Each structure stands twice: as structure tokens, then as C-alpha cells.
Amino acid sequence: MKKIILMLTVFTITVCSQEMRKNASYSLFSDQKAARVGDAITIIVVESSIASNNAETKSGRQTDMSVNLSGNFNGKSLPGGDATVGNGNEFKGSGSTKTSGVIQTKISATIDSVLANGNLLISGSKKIVINDEEQLITIKGIVRTSDVRSDNSVLSYNISNAEITFEGSGIVSGAQTPGLLTRFFRFLF
């Protein structure tokens, strides 16, 4: 009986043992945060922007010339003449632009490289298609390892040199684009 228990114990240890080298890099006392090339990181994009610009221009120019001729010769009056030249030019122009946008999403990204100072160069993209309307969100930037939270997420405003692009194509974006004839006349005038 003791031989059977000993053989079962040896069999269990050899079959069910763990590879210790596999888990050697993980800490028992802290969360495993993304820090190596290829690690996944979640970017929580919370961006809003508002911009406005107003311009108004008004200019005018007025030129008037007037000549009046009259006179007498030996007590007789000469025929009089009158000439007036005028020129006017007036311009009024105004314009305003207002832009606002809000993006809230989560994007999974990967660490492309680790810089010499320990910062992480990340990039990722997300493509969403709903009813033939396609939206593509891409993000690139540099993240400090201290900004990576315990759940491997980073807020977008903690990314330096961030490039966040939001592009759409489909029926809605096609309806917002001017037609060829309109663009041609805008080009001419």
C-alpha cells in the first residue's frame, strides 16, 4: 500500500507539475502591468474639443472729381461746362467657423517599442461598421509606465504626442460631401 501511495505521489508530481520558469517574471504581490513589446494595453479615449473663429472685414473707397467752367469774353458770357467724375468701391465680408467634437471609446493597443527612458510607444485601431456606415479610430503615442493603471488601461489625455484619428465612410459621410459640380464652381470662383 505504501508503494502505491508513493507511486501515485510521484506520478502526480511529474504529470501535474508547473513550469516554474514560465511564471518566474510574475510577481505574487503586485499587478502585472503592460511594459514589454507586444503587451496589450487598453486606451480609454475621452476627448472633447471646441473651437470657434469669427472674422469681419469692411472697407470702402470713394473718389470724386468735379470741374466747372464758366467765363466772360468782351462782356459776353461764354458757354459754361460742367464735368463730374466719380468712383466708388465698397466691400463687406464676414465669416465664422465653429467646430466641436466629442469622442468616448475604448481601444485596445499594443506596445510597439520601449524607449530608453522606459516610456512605451503604443499604437492601435478600432473599426466599427453599423448599417454600411464604417468608422475607423486609430491612436498612436507615448505612454509613461506610471500612467498605466492596474487594469492595464491608460486615459487618452495621459498620452504624449497623441495622434487620434476618427474617420468615417458610408451613406452619412457621403451626404455631407459636396457634389462634383459644387466643388467645380467653388474651384472656379
Where do the structural domains in the chain lie, given as residue ranges? 27-50+97-174
pLDDT above 90 covers what percent of the chain?
15
Greatest mean pLDDT range, 70-74, 109-113, 167-171: 109-113
What whole-number distance in Å separates Cα of residue 129 and Cα of residue 133?
A: 6
User: Given this model, what pLDDT does residue 49 score?
Assistant: 77
Cell of 166: 476618427
Q: In the predicted model, what is the mean pLDDT of the chain?
A: 77
In the sheet with 133-143, reading across from the earlier edge strand, the strands are: 153-155, 40-69, 81-114, 120-130, 133-143, 160-169
- Which among 168, 169, 166 is positioned nearest to 156, based on CA atoms? 166
Whether 15 shows a pLDDT value over 60: the answer reads no
Cell of 50: 471646441
User: Given this model, what pLDDT does residue 80 score?
Assistant: 66
- 153-155 and 81-114 as β-strands: parallel, antiparallel, unpaired? unpaired
User: Given this model, what pLDDT does residue 119 score?
Assistant: 92
Cell of 105: 471609446
Task: Note the helical H segments in the chain.
Answer: 2-16, 171-176, 180-188
What whole-number distance in Å separates Cα of residue 147 and Cα of residue 152?
A: 9
User: Given this model, what pLDDT does residue 24 score?
Assistant: 52
Per-residue pLDDT tens digits for 106-154: 899 999 999 999 899 999 999 888 888 888 889 999 999 888 888 888 9
User: Given this model, what pLDDT does residue 173 score?
Assistant: 60
- pTM, rounded to two decimals: 0.52
Whether 176 shows a pLDDT value over 80: the answer reads no
Averaged pLDDT for residues 89-100: 76
Per-residue pLDDT tens digits for 77-88: 666 666 676 667
CA 6 vs CA 1, 17, 182: distances in Å: 9, 16, 88
Q: Which helix (H) or strand (E) holds 97?
A: strand 81-114
